[in-house]
Structure 1
Amino acid sequence: MGNLANDHAEASQRSPYDARERAGDPAEESAKRAAKEPAEGRQATGAIGLTVDQTLTLPALTGARIVAGSAGRHRVVERVNVMEVPDILPWVKPKELLLTTGYPLRHSPTPLAGLIADLDRAGLSAIAIKPHRYLGDLPPELLRAADELGFPVIELPERVAFDDILTEVLSDVLDRQAAVLARADRVHRALAQIALEGGGLAELTAELARILGGPVLVTTPDGRVLAEHGADAVHDAPCFDTEAGAQTPGHPADRIVQSPVQRTAPHRRLRTESEPAGLTTHHGHQHALIPIVAGRVDHGRLVAFAGPRPFDAADVAALERAATVAALAVVKELAVAAVEDKYRADFLRDLLTGRLEDPQSAVAHAVTLGWDLEPVPNPADKQHRRKLVVLVAELDPGQSVLPASQHALRPARERFAAAWQNVVAARDRSAPVAGFNQEVVVVLKSGDDPDPLVRSLIAEVSGTGGGGRRTFSTGVSRPVSAVDDLPAAYEEARRAVRMGRRLNGPGSVVHFDALGVYRLLSLIPDPAELRDFARQTLRGLANDGDAEAEDLRTTLEVLLDTNLNVAEAARRLHFHYNTLRYRIGKIERLVGPFMERPDLRLDLSVALRILHMRGL
């Protein structure tokens, strides 16, 4: 309430309705405006109170009527304040009903239009005035300002007592809040019981959809659907991504992929990046979005769409409780998945590093894990013979991750491994996939040319598969025909990753059999040895930052690429023939007679390729 002890004379020394003096922080004012109930777009999440219309039905307000600003009659009242001083603004709060006798304003009736604008900016719900004793009739400019802003002005009868209004409004609000909390508690208990009995996200969404009477979804932080119930009815809503293939059946979005119900998710992605928490309405579709947070880690979003009736504060409170239970379910399934993944990863690491004494028995053990390591399903069927290919995908260093909210995301390596597991499972659930620290290893079954399959998987992981927040490099081994050859294939894929990043930078995709001489260079563990060889072979041409040396190196590369065809090299470099002959002489004075010595040309070619490698 207003501070009744404030001195009236002191207050009158200031300009109480100077909007410039009380404008405050624009962001704060914007937030207060957002707290009002709009017809479309974002709505308040916790509006537990009476509307202005409902307030007027209370016995204490019998005879009160809205004389201006009736467009705001649906604003929510959550508290009541009394204006006894002119400078009331420092003590008001959003969603208040402000009561006044007009006494504080009796000596300055003209600025009342400015007062209405200030109260509207502060997010108040309405002002109720007893005008006749001190103000007489309400000024027309006040009524016009209230109508323009949709800010309700209520005229109170003389017999109305403020203490009766305070008691009845606050009692009604408290009763409503108690009812909301009671309903939220019932929902929480029902969902917690499902979780305690072993139910997952699919069962939680089904029960919540039954309680609320509309579709319910659980998504990852970036909007990929984990579980849903009844979402087919709303998949065309504007809040879903319209990009084709944003989600495919059998292609769930995170590690939680075991439930068959989850694989029936709609083929869309919720645009969580543009959908704020709380109530939102798009073209008649009202939905509530609540973050799912556990241990300050952002696990996703709980989204519920309104059914035949619109959501109210009780529904939002119930959803907030449900989000807590959903967080428990997510954490539980992630914990189970983490144990399973570690066991699988340990087995696959032992197999790929050659620690298993009998690799053939590993094939039978892999079957118990749901993996198929048999490269040839039917040796007699030569038309459908397939080989094993090891793919290693490694997160590129130095790539930042922007959190989807103020809460932290799951560790990047966990989300990266989950993305690969889901994308590969959509193609072949029997293909081994495991995360080893910063890298993910996949054993694919493919024909002689695995490149189309590899490119397709990488595109899915980078796009809607969930691995696109950070760039990653990929290395692919040569196809092998036996499980015994998997350790060598794994080492090839790892070398391809390292060499691909050195040659092409982050995001490279390299097949080991396409490395050429770089296969040999990748075997040299000491980068200093490679640098020394390049400097000793190229001599003055190896100087970094020397424009002439770099220009001559380019000339040397073109000459070597054209097999010393001077005329062809001059054409590619756009030089005159004699100019190129002159440059050849300069190069030979620096590195030796390479035009006559094949061995020197080989050394120069290798040295130039070393210079193309990054990070040396």
Structure 2
Amino acid sequence: MEPPVRLASTGTIIHGVSVGELLGVSTLADARLLAGESGLGRVVQRLNVMEVPDILAWVKPHELLLTTGYPLRNTPQSLGRLVTDLDDRGLAALAIKLGRYVDELPPEMVEQADRLGFPLILLPNDVGFDDILNQVLTDILNRQAAVLVRAEEAHRALVQVVLAGGGLDEVTAEVAALLDVSVAAVDGRGRVLASAGPHEAALREIVGREGSSAPSGAPASGPRVSASVPVIAGGHHHGRIVAYSPAGSICDSDVGILERAATVAALAVTRQEAVHAVESKYRADFLRDVLTGRAGSIERVAARGRAFGWDLERPVTVLVAELDPDGDERTAQDRLVTSWTAAMRRHDPRGAVAGFSHEVVAVVDASVDAARVARDAASAFADSPPVTFSTGTSRPSRGPDTLPEAYSQALKAARVGRQLHGPGAVAHFDQLGVYRLLSLVNDTDELHAFVRETLGPLASDDDAENADLRRTLQVLLETNLNVAETARRLHFHYNTLRYRIGKLERLLGNFTDDPHLRLNLTLALHVLRMRGI
């Protein structure tokens, strides 16, 4: 069996033989581990012999260092420090012959080796270094040759997956067959996109429990994924390829194959994204033509809608979601489309949804609660940075021929709703009332002039009392000049309210006797409520 996975600090996979495996070869059959048992998983790639006191200048990482102790015969006190220095340089282990030049290892050296997990091996006196070198190096070369052969087989198999246009299902199935383990492709949120292998159900359960917390490339103990490598394409992290074995570990060459599979998965993801982008553009272009009345006959609209999985022949409601002005459209628009697509999939799988340049439009069954769909999409969108969108809802549309009118209603409801209630508003066209008419006035300067002419000094907030007087006027108009009811709502004394009415009439005119003036005042107050004009 090959050694457990061990990665260098750069994430490079280290191929070789573990110290624990070396203790099982014939030349080391009588060797004895003196200390550092926790480091038996260290990987040996090369061997070296210590014949000079300043050996530190010549050692390399992942070496098994052999010594008779001759260079240290006159300075046994340096043995304690030697373990720390060798461990700092990444050596795998130190094997020593005792009795000839060094009688025993000092206790501090053994303690330090146990603390660092650095194996100290006592070599048999009757075994020559050349025998150890030959056998261990042969094992390492054979192991690396086998790894290369296996990697080449995996490479050919994965290339065939790419050439055949395979996706994540084919990638996971191929890798599971190659490694005889369970393999899953997981997205950035921890959702399993594809899986295969003998313990597929167990792997799905483990991934669902762990989410995206598994360490990349490293084995884990207990009921966890055995190995995990990231899937990166175009500089973006798209998820990971994970493998599970009931034994709890995956060998280093297997992780190498997983990394090749992650590269193939990245190609599949980018290809899928490109196809999805083209399909999304066609869907969006067609829906835009439908909503602007340029898609052709009713029969053609219905037929093409069915090709996209949409049912446009039933009574529907149109929803328009627009990013609020403070949001960054470059990063938020795609997330807005994703949120609405997911919400529509849950509430109305036959509904149409597409992203335009500045908005997302959904066509949903008229029996579905449109406000609930909007809240669902907003909830998913809220997982991202704090950007909001406003939603408008149309009246029910009986079929494709009335969809352009419904789209216009929803668009107007979204924009007027934001003006009235601020960012994140959800407004229905039928609830706009007089604001629907005011929104038709494109000349905002004319609206401002109307407010100034009608409300006079109350049109501005130069005086702190102006807002209070406008509130009093608004409630008076809402109660049809019912002084008692107005006083009750505003918590004023009756005489206080009579005084305020007198002051309002001196500023605005005799509105209590002039119904036309009351209408103008009502409209002016409505205009003030419309934000963004």
On whether the aligned pair clears a TM of 0.5, the verdict is yes
Q: 1:333 to 1:586 in 2, by over 3 A?
A: same
- Indicate whether 1:232 and 2:201 are aligned: yes
- Indicate whether 1:112 and 2:80 are aligned: yes
Q: 1:144 to 1:498 in 2, by over 3 A?
A: same
Match of 1:257 in 2: none
> Contact 1:278–1:290 (CA<8 Å) still a contact in 2?
yes
SS where residue 195 of structure 2 aligns? strand
- The one-letter code sitting in structure 1 at the alignment partner of 2:201 is D
Q: Distance in 2 between matches of 1:598 and 1:556?
A: 14
Q: Distance in 1 between matches of 2:437 and 2:311?
A: 32
1:263-302, CA deviations, whole angstroms, 9 ceiling, x for partnerless residues? xxxxxxx722x33422353642334332222232333332
CA shift, 1:492, in A, is 1.5
SS where residue 279 of structure 1 aligns? coil
1:483-513, CA deviations, whole angstroms, 9 ceiling, x for partnerless residues? 2111111111122222333344443322222
SS where residue 325 of structure 1 aligns? helix
CA shift, 1:436, in A, is 1.6
SS where residue 396 of structure 2 aligns? coil
1:23-82, CA deviations, whole angstroms, 9 ceiling, x for partnerless residues? xxxxxxxxxxxx979xxxxxx883433222123345675654321121322233446678
Match of 2:318 in 1: 390
Q: Distance in 2 between matches of 1:465 and 1:554?
A: 34
> Contact 1:45–1:313 (CA<8 Å) still a contact in 2?
no
- Indicate whether 1:350 and 2:267 are aligned: no
> Contact 1:419–1:465 (CA<8 Å) still a contact in 2?
no
1:178-229, CA deviations, whole angstroms, 9 ceiling, x for partnerless residues? 4334323322322332332243322332333333334333233223333333
Q: Distance in 2 between matches of 1:330 and 1:495?
A: 38
Match of 2:152 in 1: 185
Q: Distance in 1 between matches of 2:511 and 2:438?
A: 22
> Contact 1:279–1:286 (CA<8 Å) still a contact in 2?
no
Report the more deviating stretch, 104-113 or 552-561. 104-113
CA shift, 1:143, in A, is 1.8
> Contact 1:480–1:489 (CA<8 Å) still a contact in 2?
yes
- The one-letter code sitting in structure 2 at the alignment partner of 1:510 is A
CA shift, 1:543, in A, is 3.9
Q: 1:531 to 1:357 in 2, by over 3 A?
A: same
CA shift, 1:559, in A, is 4.3
Match of 1:479 in 2: 396
1:534-587, CA deviations, whole angstroms, 9 ceiling, x for partnerless residues? 455444444458654444444444444444444444444444444555555555
Match of 1:511 in 2: 428
Match of 1:524 in 2: 441
> Contact 1:475–1:494 (CA<8 Å) still a contact in 2?
yes
Match of 1:497 in 2: 414
- Indicate whether 1:153 and 2:116 are aligned: no
- The one-letter code sitting in structure 2 at the alignment partner of 1:304 is A
CA shift, 1:320, in A, is 1.1
SS where residue 67 of structure 1 aligns? strand
- Structure 2 residue runs of 5 or longer lacking an equivalent are none
CA shift, 1:313, in A, is 1.2
> Contact 1:461–1:467 (CA<8 Å) still a contact in 2?
no
Match of 1:143 among 105, 110, 114: 110
Match of 2:16 in 1: 49
1:95-133, CA deviations, whole angstroms, 9 ceiling, x for partnerless residues? 5556675847965827936x6567657765444456767
Q: 1:66 to 1:454 in 2, by over 3 A?
A: same
Match of 1:301 in 2: 240
RMSD value, Cα: 4.3
Q: Distance in 1 between matches of 2:478 and 2:23?
A: 89
Match of 1:326 among 238, 259, 265: 265
> Contact 2:232–2:238 (CA<8 Å) still a contact in 1?
yes
The higher radius of gyration belongs to 2
Match of 1:440 in 2: 360
SS where residue 322 of structure 2 aligns? strand
Match of 1:275 in 2: 214
Q: Distance in 2 between matches of 1:526 and 1:349?
A: 27
Match of 2:162 in 1: 195
Q: Distance in 2 between matches of 1:92 and 1:495?
A: 75
Structure 1 or 2: more helix by fraction: 2
SS where residue 350 of structure 2 aligns? coil
- The one-letter code sitting in structure 1 at the alignment partner of 2:391 is T
Report the more deviating stretch, 484-493 or 215-224. 215-224
Q: Distance in 1 between matches of 2:452 and 2:172?
A: 65
1:133-178, CA deviations, whole angstroms, 9 ceiling, x for partnerless residues? 7765322123223324433233456788878877766664454344
Mapping 1:239-278, distance limit 5 Å? 239-240=207-208, 271-272=211-212, 274-278=213-217
> Contact 2:395–2:430 (CA<8 Å) still a contact in 1?
yes
SS where residue 240 of structure 1 aligns? helix
Match of 1:252 in 2: none
Q: TM-score, normalised by structure 1?
A: 0.71
- The one-letter code sitting in structure 2 at the alignment partner of 1:109 is Q
Mapping 1:31-110, distance limit 5 Å? 46-58=13-25, 64-78=31-45, 88=56, 97=64, 101=69, 103=71, 109=77
- Indicate whether 1:311 and 2:250 are aligned: yes
> Contact 2:17–2:45 (CA<8 Å) still a contact in 1?
yes
CA shift, 1:519, in A, is 1.9
> Contact 2:370–2:393 (CA<8 Å) still a contact in 1?
no
Match of 1:363 among 297, 302, 311: 302
The number of equivalent residue pairs is 524
CA shift, 1:421, in A, is 3.7
